[in-house]
Amino acid sequence: MPDTESSVLYWGSDPVRFSPGETIAAALQRHGVTDLGAGVGELHGRYFCGIGTCQACLVSVSGASAVEACLTLAQAGMRLSPALLPGHPDAPGAGA
């Protein structure tokens, strides 16, 4: 029996299973997550181009800088959340 804990990441507190070699975006989309949070301007983050050009799929991994979910391979235990992009009121340095 495979170790299922080794194939789980987290979107907020929600466990998301993934397959080896799968990107964060593919795992989230398969899990039904289509809104990745605040995007640029009035747009919401989402999986769009799949090649990293549009950067519409930026997510934060463990509260660190944003990564492109469509290019970043899923890893066990990742803690994902919407990326706080510059200009967002909750982004680091906002209102300073």
Instruction: Give the pLDDT confidence score for residue 40 in this predicted structure.
Output: 58
| Domain count within the chain | 1
Give the per-residue pLDDT at 14.
95
Residues pairing with 67 in the sheet: 59
User: What CATH number has the domain bearing residue 17?
Assistant: 3.10.20.30
**Residue 50: inside a domain, yes or no?**
yes
Q: What is the pLDDT along the chain (96 residues), one digit of tens a residue?
A: 345 567 999 999 999 999 999 999 999 999 999 888 766 555 566 667 778 777 888 899 988 878 999 999 999 999 999 887 655 555 555 555
93 within domain boundaries: no
Q: What is the pLDDT of residue 15?
A: 97
Q: Does 35 reside within a domain?
A: yes
Whole-Å CA distances, 95 to 9, 19, 21, 82, 91:
32, 41, 40, 19, 9
Question: For position 1, what pLDDT does the model report?
Answer: 37
